[in-house]
Amino acid sequence: MPDLIDQPKAVRSDDQLDVAAVTAWLEAHVPGISGTPEVHQYRGGASNLTYLLSWPDRELILRRPPFGTKAKSAHDMGREVRFLRALQPHYPVPEVLGFCEDAEGGEFYVMERIKGVILRQDIPASLGLDAASTRQLCTNVLDQLIALHGIDIEAHGLTHLGKGAGYVKRQIDGWSRRYRKALTPGAHDGERVMAWLADNLRDDVATTVIHGDFRFDNVVLDPDDPMRIIGVLDWEMATLGDPLMDVGNSLAYWVDPDDEQVFQMMRRQPTNAPGMLSRAEVWAYVGEKTGRDVSDVDFYEVYGLFRLAVILQQIWFRFHHGQTSNPAFASFGELTKYLVTRCEGVLDRRGE
């Protein structure tokens, strides 16, 4: 199904690479590279920038931080590189071929392209998936996340990839701090939600590899067998931490068919398609497969929604202050307020 293979577009004017400098670095550091590549951009993400570099006989993917002012701890290229290199023997991730740590010229890394199908807002009709096949695809994707959480970090020498125990508290403290720092005029103060999360901290259920942004549009499907996952992308937020927090992260993007209109408008993956599991069914599936207690998951859902609100507010802060002009970010201020209000709706339902 070559027509379904994910393809990039022209590079946005604000995101132009210094192609001559990149080419010179590649020729010096990546065997077999010679000459200036054609450059196109994958525009789906709102954080690190992703480009396709094409030569007549080779294709590479380049990842770099966004241009302009950024949060100090965000857009860590080194984190992605460490995780990709550590996980490659154990998990379907791209092979990193080089990492440029020149902070002045802009960090970036290059990796081999995993050519396949990536599902975004809707499932292409040409895939021919009925409801039963869609459900199978959904559980296959969830199984891939569960498999990540099941990697034995001690046996494979991966304990250096994160701080480990205490993850839940670090996340609540850290995202609350980032939110307050990124506030702009008219923003929701979020204090009720932050106080509730701090007062209802859960103990870490385990310390595992977690992706931090596991969605359908970060999963690559085999073009010859779309039920088979051949790659998982975008490891910018990966670390070691609590796997149920990671599920909460993922479900912040999971739009059910009966969700309210604003949430429907935020949908970036086909979780509303007939056959897809609902959020409640995802939790039940994770509990069944892992044996973990998922009888009360409101904490993880509120955390996931609030964390997404913080991410959008940080981007809106940059847009509001003229540090980026990407028109895709123009609605992020209002979406942040909606997500914080959605968190408050869970608290209202609980009577808290």
- Mean pLDDT, residues 111-137: 95
Mean pLDDT rounded to a whole number for the chain: 93
Q: How confident is the model at residue 20 (pLDDT cuts 50, 70, 90)?
A: very high
| DSSP-based helix, strand, coil % in the chain, nearest 5 | 45, 15, 45
* Range with lowest mean pLDDT among 42-51, 154-163, 211-220, 236-245: 42-51
Amino acid at 67: F
On the question of pLDDT at 73 being above 60, the answer is: no
The reported pLDDT for the residue numbered 75 is 57
| Tens of pLDDT, residues 247-272 | 999 999 999 999 999 999 999 999 99
The reported pLDDT for the residue numbered 76 is 75
Buried b / exposed e across 168-189, counting CB within 10 Å, b at 16+?
beebbeebbebbeebeeeebbe
On the question of pLDDT at 292 being above 90, the answer is: yes
User: 102 or 73, which is more confident?
Assistant: 102
User: 279 or 104, which is more confident?
Assistant: 279
| Tens of pLDDT, residues 320-341 | 999 888 888 999 999 999 999 9
Q: How confident is the model at residue 5 (pLDDT cuts 50, 70, 90)?
A: confident
Nearest alpha carbon to residue 213 among 152, 167, 269? 269
The whole-model pTM stands at 0.93
The reported pLDDT for the residue numbered 68 is 62
| Tens of pLDDT, residues 165-210 | 999 999 999 999 999 999 999 999 999 999 999 999 999 999 999 9
On the question of pLDDT at 37 being above 50, the answer is: yes
Q: How confident is the model at residue 1 (pLDDT cuts 50, 70, 90)?
A: low
Q: How confident is the model at residue 72 (pLDDT cuts 50, 70, 90)?
A: very low
CA dihedral defined by 160, 244, 166, 92, rounded to 10 degrees?
10
On the question of pLDDT at 67 being above 80, the answer is: no
What structural domains does the chain harbor?
A: 2-112 (3.30.200.20), 125-350 (3.90.1200.10)
The reported pLDDT for the residue numbered 325 is 80
Please list the alpha-helical segments (H only) found in the chain.
19-29, 77-87, 131-149, 167-181, 191-199, 243-251, 261-265, 279-290, 298-320, 332-350
- Mean pLDDT, residues 1-14: 81
The reported pLDDT for the residue numbered 104 is 59
On the question of pLDDT at 159 being above 80, the answer is: yes
- Mean pLDDT, residues 52-57: 96
